């Protein structure tokens, strides 16, 4: 583990792979991806904690999508210089990963976007039904705040899903800076789609969305395909807003094939 302007956890050696988590969680939400690398040496995984999340302090000024993107750019400049790298972004981190690809162009080998933020608030296209299973006895035992968050981001509200949520999602939720999060919620989108300011990126890209995502949906994300000619897209069924947690095996399979394509 090393520390920079942004706290980050480093695993492995080789080509840098920057992993950017979503809103109000921290890098732990992406750790279910780690088994992908067991038989894929040569990747130096850099798991970020965004400002105001995990072990990273909030920004000294106002928190916004633009400010967080600039913080990530500054970190990449300092940590990676001109080295080629790949990027993974989940949810809000998917929006930042898109900005990273637009900013660094051919230096970025490719990106994996897991349920990325594309639109927000009333502009989102969301599914009508999102919860597929409910364990009412379990839900009755949970504190109200935990129960609400659990139901918002998972499609199956069962004991196994709760155990995963408690291990990978809840720790970050409990330590984020709430004032910074409120500022970010009010200024959540970058001023323009990052793709609109950049030429088509011809690296290898992956998009993973889910049919039961009650937070960002899946239809809006498909518009990204036109900007990435070499993008593979998967829409998973039976999964909510944290597919790398709730259906880790499926997501690891997709991410593994993406990594193989980057090295191929």
| CATH assignment at residue 40 | 3.40.50.1820
What sign does the CA torsion over 230, 92, 46, 166 have?
negative
Question: Would you state the structure tokens that stand for residue 82, as one six-digit string?
Answer: 């001109």
Core vs surface per residue 162-187: b (16+ CB within 10 A) or e = bebbeebbbebbeebbeebbebbeee
pLDDT attached to residue 1: 32
For residues 52-73, b (16+ Cβ closer than 10 Å) or e, as one string?
bbbebebbeeebbbebbbebbe
Give residue 3's pLDDT.
35
Please state the pTM of the whole predicted model: 0.96
pLDDT of res. 264: 78
Please tell me the distance from the alpha carbon of residue 153 to that of residue 132, in angstroms, as a whole number: 12
CB 45 within 8 Å of CB 72: no
Low-confidence ranges of the chain (pLDDT < 50): 1-4
Domain count, the chain: 1
- Domain boundaries, position 43: 2-263
* Look-up of token digits 């809000």: 92
- Residue 101's alpha-carbon distances to 38, 138, 193, 234, in angstroms, are 26, 42, 12, 20
Contact by Cβ (8 Å): 113, 258: no
Question: d(Cα 151, Cα 248) in Å, to the nearest integer?
Answer: 18
> Among residues 144, 117, 122, which one has the least CA distance to residue 213?
117
């Amino acid at each position: 583990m090393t520390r920079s302007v942004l706290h980050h956890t480093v695993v492995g050696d080789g080509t840098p792979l920057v992993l950017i988590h979503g809103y109000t969680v921290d890098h732990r939400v992406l750790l279910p991806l780690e088994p992908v690398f067991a038989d894929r040496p040569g990747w130096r995984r850099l798991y970020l904690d965004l400002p105001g999340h995990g072990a990273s302090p909030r920004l000294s000024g106002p928190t916004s999508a633009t400010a967080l993107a600039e913080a990530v750019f500054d970190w990449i400049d300092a940590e990676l210089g001109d080295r080629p790298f790949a990027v993974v972004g989940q949810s809000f981190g998917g929006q930042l990963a898109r900005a990273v690809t637009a900013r660094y162009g051919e230096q970025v080998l490719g990106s994996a976007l897991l349920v990325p933020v594309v639109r927000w608030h009333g502009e989102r296209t969301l599914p009508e039904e999102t919860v597929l299973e409910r364990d009412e006895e379990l839900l009755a035992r949970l504190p109200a705040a935990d129960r609400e968050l659990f139901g918002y981001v998972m499609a199956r509200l069962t004991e196994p899903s709760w155990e995963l949520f408690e291990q990978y999602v809840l720790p970050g939720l409990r330590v984020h800076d709430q004032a910074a999060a409120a500022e970010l919620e009010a200024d959540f989108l970058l001023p323009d789609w990052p793709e609109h300011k950049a030429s088509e990126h011809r690296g290898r890209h992956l998009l993973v969305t889910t049919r039961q995502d009650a937070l960002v949906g899946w239809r809006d994300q498909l518009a990204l395909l036109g900007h990435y000619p070499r993008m593979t897209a998967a829409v998973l069924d039976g999964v909510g807003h944290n597919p790398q947690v709730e259906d880790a095996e499926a997501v690891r399979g997709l991410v593994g094939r993406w990594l193989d394509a980057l090295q191929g």
